[in-house]
Structure 1
Amino acid sequence: MTDRPTIPPIGRDEFRAAMARIATAVSVITTDGPEGRHGMTASAVASVSDEPATILACIHRSTLMNSRLKSNGVMCVNVLSDRHDALSRLFANAGSTLDERFASSAWDMLATGAPVMQDAAIALDCEIVEVAEVATHSVFFGELRALRLAESASPLLYYNRGFHSIGTGILSED
């Protein structure tokens, strides 16, 4: 076995600049249960497996959402369409109340009891089956218990620190 030189880690700013150049769908993740309802905007969501249908969401450990997801054991990933720019900002704003956030859209439930946006492009209603702690975040693995697809919707994308639409280009920048 050969000795490998120590490779220094990439710096935080350089890493963040690189990640900003990966286009991702924007979602509002919601939960409800014994610890109460909560919701936040997120882009760190991905498919894990199709059998069983499983997704993951990465949530910073310091957030209230992190503890609510762990206590409630359910989440709905509401994938936003390009007309939800303002709603995504509202759910990302730490200064907005939960009442303000949830009053901004119509909600119902599917299987788990987590709030589901009636006009989400995609709603992925999940039971949290595993949580992995990695660095500053918890990775929540959710098995789908129900889903709903909109008839047609152009997704809201986050790219290079701005919101974009496939059809119309840039919507706004941070």
Structure 2
Amino acid sequence: MINSDIFKQAMSQYAAGVTVITTVHQEKPIGITATSFSSLSLDPPLVIVNLSKKLFTHQVILESGIFAVNMLKSSQKELGMRFAGMIPGVEDRFEGLDVKTAVTNSPILTNSLAWVDCRVWATYEGGDHTIFVGEVVDVNSSSDGVPLVYSNRQWQGVSELEGNEENN
């Protein structure tokens, strides 16, 4: 058996884009910050989100069959912290935000870098998490900004590396 603290430390070294996973429960928007997100397939367009079974959001997505993934910009660290429950006194995580309703009825954070609106296509057991495969039913992307990244338990931005212009 491996040491879980060392495993968590090793996994914290992996840089991942910060997202806010949103859905709706009894006509009220809910959301949570997550980094365990990835594209899966182009045909059909599928993404995966991995959520702890302990989360209320997990249960709501299982019941509703819908979710949206909002990819955050580096300028949206506070938003990532808000949906991670890291800002004391915030009761309504959506209060004061520019939000629209997606095709599935999930809330969309309109100022995010990009978003995908999904219907649950499949679920798989993954230990203490569930792997949600979402079929993308709507999508939007902005080129205004750079991704917010979480690595080594720190919020970070992304910068261009020298020589990237050769790859364009």
TM range (shorter): 0.7 to 0.9
The list of structure 1 runs, each at least 4 consecutive aligned residues, that deviate by more than 2 angstroms after superposition, is 33-37, 94-97
**CA separation in 2, counterparts of 1:110 and 1:134?**
28
**CA separation in 1, counterparts of 2:54 and 2:34?**
15
| 2:44 aligned with 1:61 | no
Aligned equivalent of 1:121: 113
Aligned equivalent of 2:76: 84
Give the TM-score of the pair, scaled to structure 1.
0.85
Pairwise CA RMSD: 1.7
1:55-74 CA distance string (max 9 Å, x none):
11011001101111011111
Give the TM-score of the pair, scaled to structure 2.
0.88
Q: How does 1:84-163 map to 2 (within 5 A)?
A: 84-93=76-85, 96-97=90-91, 99=92, 101-163=93-155
Question: Which ranges in structure 2 are unaligned for 5 or more consecutive residues?
Answer: 161-168
Aligned equivalent of 1:4: none
Decide whether aligned partners of structure 1 residues 10 and 127 sit closer, same or farther in structure 2, where only a CA change above 3 A counts: same
Structure 1 contact 38–68 (Cα < 8 Å) conserved = no
Paired residue for 1:15, among 7, 10, 27? Answer: 7
Identity in percent:
27
| Count, aligned residues | 158
> Relative to structure 2, which stretch is displaced further, 103-112 or 122-131?
103-112
Question: Which ranges in structure 1 are unaligned for 5 or more consecutive residues?
Answer: 1-8, 169-174
SS in 2 for 1:154: coil
Structure 1 contact 35–71 (Cα < 8 Å) conserved = no
**CA separation in 2, counterparts of 1:50 and 1:32?**
26
TM-aligned CA deviation for residue 33 of structure 1: 5.1
